Amino acid sequence: MKIATIVGARPQFIKAATISRIIQEKSDIQEIIIHTGQHYDDNMSEVFFTELNIPRPHYNLGVGSSMHGKQTAKMLEGIEEILVKEKPDWIIVYGDTNSTVAGALAAAKLHIPIAHIEAGLRSYNRRMPEEINRIATDHISDVLFAPTQNALNILKQEGLAERSLFSGDVMYDSILYYKEISRSKVKLEDIADVQPDRYFLATIHRQENTDDIKRLQEIFLAFSEFDIPIIVPLHPRTKNILDDVAFRSNVKIISPVGYLEMVCLTSNCIKVFTDSGGLQKEAYFLKKPCITLREETEWIETLEGGWNFTVGADKQKILDKVHYCNYEPQKEYFGDGKAAEKIINYLLKK
């Protein structure tokens, strides 16, 4: 069986690492990796292939950054050409980026079956480009792997029950697999000048926070009021506009880090502040409280038991939740750590 995997953005490399590891254990699958080039800086792309032993992409379309339409169109053109040549039995797409929807659209028109991993997520905020990408991809894919029961229920409500199944979350598999590797290979002091359990961790890159300088300023004003350091591995999109934002020296900006470093930073911090989907979940998996810098979240399971709060970009709401510490035991919403195996076995049987 030949599978073409479409990746392009940071969270997809992390998910693909776990799926590719399982594929490599099966002698009867050949995987072709197509990198769209949506993320291209070394610390947003190359580092993941090296650290996580992801097979080198067979193709890199090098599309780079541009407006959504132009970027997606370039991907569509490039992916179509490769799929015509490679004739895979399946394509795998992940999550909700422009690379996801471009891959799915190209394959759907060529009648190549599409597996969507991390299907059924909804924020119900159609101003998010990711929401449009998710909805479109789910509705043109052939098999939808839902990471949680909530996601599966959403797919059922949208009339997609027959094509959907609960797999568990491959990012949960990833954390379980890489947690120990991170602990043995990476030292906190080599990443940032902080002590374990004496700092907060933040990431910010959602368009709603980076397109609106007032929101970004409000977030950084809140961070500046903390009496301990907050480490911010900064996404290139946010870095581009940071010159216009004021903050105090306890806010420590660093370059984006590799996954093993990020797992180390998350494991050792007190709390996470983020607008990232993936990091909200990793905070939950590592039992770190999260404060989400958005008005809503797709990962509603993490809100239970006080583990996550959505506060938007409201300084006072951010500050109000900093000292919250009344957490209830977590439930097992994200599967048993064997999502990748289930997904690949399913595709092999099909």
256 binds ligand UDP (CB under 6 A): yes
From the number of C-beta atoms within 10 Å of its C-beta (0-12, 13-18, 19+), residue 305 rates as middle
22 binds ligand UDP (CB under 6 A): no
233 binds ligand UDP (CB under 6 A): yes
- Residue pair 75/93 in contact (Cβ under 8 Å)? The answer is no
Among 57, 277, 289, 337, binds ligand UDP (CB under 6 A): 277
Binding pattern to ligand UDP, positions 183-222, x when CB under 6 A? --------------------x-------------------
DSSP class of residue 201?
E
Nearest to ligand UDP of 55, 236 (CB atom): 236
Measured from the CB of residue 349, what is the shortest distance to ligand UDP in angstroms? Answer: 29
Query: Segment contacting ligand UDP (CB under 6 A): 50-58, 119-127, 155-163, 276-284?
Result: 276-284
Helix 277-285 / helix 10-24 crossing angle, nearest 10 deg = 60
Among 3, 4, 5, 10, binds ligand UDP (CB under 6 A): 10
Query: Segment contacting ligand UDP (CB under 6 A): 212-220, 278-286, 308-316, 332-340?
Result: 278-286
Instruction: Provide the 3-class DSSP secondary structure of residue 274.
Output: strand
11 binds ligand UDP (CB under 6 A): yes
Nearest to ligand UDP of 30, 43 (CB atom): 43
238-261 burial, b if ≥16 CB within 10 A, otherwise e? beeebeeeebeeebbeeebbbbbb
Instruction: Say whether 205 is catalytic.
Output: yes
In order, the DSSP letters of 5-49 are EEE-SHHHHHHHHHHHHHHHT-TT-EEEEEE--SS-SGGGTHHHH
Tokens matching residue 4: 């073409």
**The total number of residues written for the chain in this structure:** 350
Query: Segment contacting ligand UDP (CB under 6 A): 20-28, 210-218, 251-259, 330-338?
Result: 251-259
Site for ligand UDP, rule CB under 6 A: 10-11, 14, 203, 233, 256-259, 262, 276-279, 282
What residues act catalytically?
A: 205
